[in-house]
Amino acid sequence: MIKNTITAEQTEEIVEARKSNKNKCIERRLKAILLHSEGMAHKEIAVITEYAERYITILVSKYCRNGIESIVGNHYKGNHRNLSYEEEEKLLEEFRAESESGQVIETRKIKEAYEKKTGKSLDKNKGQIYNVLKRHEWRKVMPRSKHPNKASDEEIDSSKKLTLN
C-alpha cells in the first residue's frame, strides 16, 4: 500500500488556503490534511477534528489525487436555474409594462414565455415560475374580499353617526 505523502509545497499551499478561508467546514478539512502532513496519526486527527478516521483517509487521498480545489471548492451543483438573473429580468420586463398599464397578468402567460425562452417544460417543477417571480419581488395582488352577508355602506355609515342626547 502506497501512503499518501504531502510535500512541503503542498503543505505551504494548505497553509495559504487556511489564511484566505472563511468557511468553518473547509477549515476543518484543511486542518485535517495539514495535521496529516505533519505526520500525525489518523486516530489523533479524528479526535482533534471530530471526523471519522475513514473520512480523514478519504480527504487526504482526494487531496493527493485532485489538489486543493477538491477540498476547498464547492462540490454541490445547486441553483438549477435555466436563466440568469439578468435574463429573467429581461423576460419579465415586457410583463412589467403590461402590469403598470393596469392589465391583469396571469402566471400562465409568464410560464409559457419562460418555457419558450428556455426550451424546457416546467411541468415537473410547478413552483419554479413562482420562485422566479418571488426572486424579482413580484407579488400576487388581489382585491379585498367582501363577505356575502356584509351590511350595506349606508347602514355602516348610519351606525357610526349614532350619538347620545
Q: Are residues 67 and 92 in the same domain?
A: no
Predicted pLDDT of residue 164: 59
Grid cell digits, residue 15:
497553509
Task: Give the residue with greater pLDDT, 30 vs 162.
Answer: 30
- 57 neighbors 42 (Cβ within 8 angstroms): yes
Its domain, for residue 33, covers 8-72
Structural domain count of the chain: 2
- For residues 5-12, average pLDDT: 90
- Within-domain flag for 51: yes
Does 1 have pLDDT greater than 50? no
At 74, the pLDDT band (50, 70, 90 cuts) reads confident
Which residues touch 111 (CB under 8 Å, ≥6 apart)? Answer: 122, 129
Lowest mean pLDDT among 32-41, 105-114, 155-164: 155-164
- Within-domain flag for 77: no
Q: Are residues 126 and 103 in the same domain?
A: yes
Grid cell digits, residue 110:
409568464
How many percent of the chain have pLDDT more than 90? 42
Predicted pLDDT of residue 79: 59
- Within-domain flag for 125: yes
CA 82 to chain centre: 14
Q: Are residues 22 and 65 in the same domain?
A: yes
Q: Are residues 58 and 37 in the same domain?
A: yes
Angle at 51 between CA 45 and CA 54, to 5 degrees: 85
- What is the torsional sign of CA 66, 71, 72, 76? positive
- For residues 60-71, average pLDDT: 91
- Within-domain flag for 23: yes
Predicted pLDDT of residue 9: 92
Predicted pLDDT of residue 34: 94
Does 21 have pLDDT greater than 80? yes
Q: Are residues 48 and 92 in the same domain?
A: no
Q: Are residues 89 and 65 in the same domain?
A: no
- Within-domain flag for 145: no
Q: Are residues 13 and 62 in the same domain?
A: yes
- Within-domain flag for 38: yes
- Within-domain flag for 130: yes
Q: Looking only at Cα atoms, what is the longest distance across the chain?
A: 104
Q: Are residues 106 and 57 in the same domain?
A: no
Q: Are residues 13 and 68 in the same domain?
A: yes
Predicted pLDDT of residue 154: 83
Predicted pLDDT of residue 41: 93
Does 58 have pLDDT greater than 90? yes
- Within-domain flag for 128: yes
Q: Are residues 22 and 58 in the same domain?
A: yes
pLDDT digits (tens, 9 = 90+) for 116-165: 998 888 888 878 888 888 889 888 777 777 777 888 888 877 777 655 55
Task: Give the residue with greater pLDDT, 41 vs 149.
Answer: 41
